[in-house]
Structures are given as structure tokens and as C-alpha cells.
Structure 1
């Protein structure tokens, strides 16, 4: 056959290239993965893990160097609460500079202790393979995260403590910051419970509501946290927190 009768060949499509492999460093990190921390357990690394990979802290508290993690989380929780209390104490100065940090740190610790049994019971009712030790680690990590969130908000609280004389506004601001911190801390407790097998979150939500009410009531029982100190370290009169808020607003209106 002549060359003129040759049938032109269609250009062939090159085969598809295999998908590019995802670099392990770019793969999303499972924050709640129960795996070793992989670093020296010290204050800085515990703070970093609490914010980024809390699951590794839970693993270390259950299977690894429990004592070191617990000590560092305790320092974070108590130290952060005391620092937030110091900023609130700067609003009035004087005795409040040491009284408010002590009250807030002790109150936060007391709230965690008295709500630990309810967290354990509610978790068991939800079908979790829960132990009192595991419940304590969940609560400790949540309390430490609450402290870190409050520490992050300290500069904002300091600005207002030095630029306003309104005790009612400072009280509202402190309450708002506390609720924000509890949302983050409660979220960590919920996520750790879900990793442990929680199917129905309602039990953890109920516990979070109990914890919130306890802390708010303690803020009333340990008053005054904002404003001038009273003659006694603790108030002699018992009050429900809503009653205290109403009376505080009445005092402001009379002024």
C-alpha cells in the first residue's frame, strides 16, 4: 500500500498519574488519640499537649507517667485560677490582692472535688467503662484547660480592672469569662468521655450544668471577689447566688 493510504493514528491519552501521597506531617492530627506523648513530660509540654493533643495526656495518666502529668496539670489549674484571681483583686487592691486569688483557687479545687462523684456516677450510667481514677483525670484536665482559658483572658480583665470603677461591670465581665472557660473545659471532658465509649451525651451535659451551678454558688459563698474586702474573710450571711445578684443590683441602683 502507498504511504498516502496510511490511516493516521489517534493520539493516545497518557495514563492517569497515581494520586500524590499525603505527607504524614500534613495529615490531620487526631487530638483525642490515646497514644504516648512522645516527649519529655514537663510543664511546657503538658501545656502544649493540653491545648493540641489532650488524648496523649489521658494516655499518659492511664498507662504512662501518671504522677508527672497529674502534678503539672494541678499546677496549671491552681496557678491559672490564682492568677485570674490576682487580676480581679487588682480592681480593689489591699487585702483583696491575696484574698481573691486564694478564694478562687481554693473554690475551683473544692468544686472539682465535690462534683467528681457525680461525674463518675453519670459516666457509669451512660455505659462507660469508668473508674474513679479515670473520672478524676478527665476532671483534672478539664479544670486545667479552664485555667488556661482564663489565663488567656487575663490581659483583657487587667485592662478593665485598671480603667473602670464599676464593680457590677467587673462582676459581669468575670462571670462571662468564667462561662467561656467552662465551655472549653466541659467540651474537653465531653470529648474524653466520648473516646471512652459515651453514646448519649445527656449525662455529661447534666454533670456540666451541676458543675457550673456549684462554681457560681461558690462565687457567692466566697464573696466578695470583686470590690472592697469585708471585715471577715468569709461572709456571715448565707445567700443563694440569684438573691445575691439581685441585692447587688439594688445597691447599684440606690447609688
Structure 2
């Protein structure tokens, strides 16, 4: 329960939570608590979207969805930390990690809130392409909100009265774009999350093409252009 109380502190008073991070107040407890909460909520949503193709896919997606967000963090966070360090940041790696985990918590909570709706569509329709596109929209919306949350958190904890802070903000905006691209392509690499209706279970698929071409095909199919 202590781990979930950490999440509730973030949701109820985010500015105090950010201030505690900037002062490194119980930083390790915050990191562990947010990591556990994120993993649980992502796993629940992953299990729902994976249920379209049986139990094996459901369990695989329950593991792969938390892995997607955590691996994206592992890949991208060092870049932000060291570039910020070069331009005069005095924040620790743990502070950056806690801030990014807090933004991931917003995403995981929103996905958890969408879970009943997603489950309803899962049980009430049998259109695989629509279900996939519906979830892509949910991931895009929650991801955008999470990135915006992280941006505001960084502005809150960073010094705003120096020339170096302006350079760091510019670098941070570019990093957010990089983070979005890495997350999207990693999701494509770790597929399938939904499985393919009527086909045997696959843990991973061969790497081919990219996520953007595939999304174009899915949208075309749903709109009846294909």
C-alpha cells in the first residue's frame, strides 16, 4: 500500500511532489513506488489488449507493455541527463529518473482508467483492425499528456533565470521528440501486443518496415480505402 500512496501523493499535489524531488526528499522510495505502480497498471492494460488472441498473448502483452515504457526510459534518459549536465544542470540522475517515472505514472493511470472501456470494446466487437486503431489512439493521447506532464515538471524544477537554463529547455524539447520516436519504434520492434486473430501465438515478429507505414495501412483499412 505504501507504493500506491506514493502515486496518490503525485496525483493529489504534483507541485509538492516535484518540489520533494528537487530537494531529494525520500527519492529512492518515490522511484520504487512509482516503478511498481506503473508496472502493475501497464500489465493490466497489456493483458486486456492481448486477450484478443488467447491466454498466451494476454500474458505476453502483460509483460511487454511495461517493458516497452521502461526500456524506452532506459534508452533515452542517459541522453537527457548528460546533455543537461553539459549545459550546467545540477540535478542528479535519480531526480531525472523520478521525474520521468512520475510522467509515466500519469500515462499508466490513464490507461488503467481506459481499461474498462477497452475491455467493453474487446468483448462487444470482433473487428481486429478497429480495436487496434482504437488502442493506438489511446496510446497516442495518453503519451502526449504524459510527455506534457514531464515537460511541465522539468520547467518546475529547473532554474529559469539563467542563460544556461534556456539552452537546457531547448535541448529538452528536442529530447521529447526523440523520446516519442524511440518509444514508437520500440513498440513496433516488440510487437505483437494484440496478436493476430486466428493465427498462432508469436512472442515476437521479424523486424520489417516501421510503425508509421503500418499505421497508415491500418487507418486505410478502417476507413475502407483497402
> TM-score band, normalised by the shorter chain?
0.7 to 0.9
Residue of structure 2 in register with 1:178 after alignment: 139
Q: Tell me how far apart the structure 1 counterparts of residues 144 and 111 of structure 2 sit (CA, whole Å).
A: 12
Following TM superposition, by how much is the alpha carbon of 1:111 offset from its aligned partner in structure 2, in angstroms?
0.6
Work out the CA distance in 2 between the residues paired with 1:254 and 1:57: 48
Partner residue, 1:204: 172
CA–CA separation in structure 2 for the residues paired with 1:133 and 1:69 = 10
- 8 Å CA contact 1:111–1:211 kept in 2: the answer is yes
User: After alignment, is 209-218 or 198-207 more displaced?
Assistant: 198-207
1:169 to 108, 114, 130: 130
- Give the SS at the match of 1:161: helix
User: Which one of the candidate residues 205, 208, 217 is aligned to 1:235?
Assistant: 205
Which whole-Å CA distance do the structure 1 matches of 2:113 and 2:83 have between them? 31
Structure 1 Cα separation of the partners of residues 88 and 141 of structure 2: 29
The change in CA–CA distance for 1:92 and 1:80 in structure 2 (over 3 A counts) is same
**Which residue of 1 is the match for residue 47 of structure 2?**
86
* Rounded Cα–Cα distance in structure 2 between residues aligned with 1:181 and 1:164: 23
Q: Which moved more, 1:241-250 or 1:95-104?
A: 241-250
Higher deviation after alignment, 184-193 or 154-163:
184-193
Matched, 1:244 2:210: no
Question: How far, CA to CA, are the matches of 2:170 and 2:142 in structure 1?
Answer: 20
For residue 91 of structure 1, give the secondary structure of its aligned residue in structure 2.
helix
Greater Rg over alpha carbons, structure: 1
Q: 8 Å contact 1:42–1:68 — kept in the other structure?
A: no
Quickly say closer, same or farther: Cα 1:137–1:224, change in 2 above 3 A.
same
Comparing 104-113 with 238-247, greater Cα deviation is found at: 238-247
Task: Give the paired residue count.
Answer: 215
**SS at 1:238 equivalent:** coil
Q: Is the 8 A contact 1:89 1:97 kept in 2?
A: yes
| Alignment of 1:48 onto 2:8 | yes
Higher helix share: 2
Could you tell me which residue of structure 2 aligns to residue 6 of structure 1? none
CA distance in 1, matches of 2:109, 2:145: 10
TM-score (norm 1): 0.73
After TM superposition, give the deviation of residue 188 of structure 1 in Å.
2.3
Task: Provide the alpha-carbon RMSD of the alignment.
Answer: 2.7
The alpha carbon displacement at 1:115 in A equals: 0.9
Do structure 1's residue 189 and structure 2's residue 150 form an aligned pair?
yes
Measure, in 2, the Cα distance between the counterparts of 1:127 and 1:220. Answer: 35
Greater RCO (CA < 8 Å, at least 6 residues apart)? 2
1:215 aligned residue = 183
**What's the CA shift for 1:231?**
4.9
Structure 2, unpaired ranges of 5+: none
Alpha-carbon distance change, 89 to 119 in structure 1, aligned in 2, over 3 angstroms: same
Shift of 1:65: 2.0
Q: Equivalents in 1 of 2:137, 2:86: separation in Å? A: 31
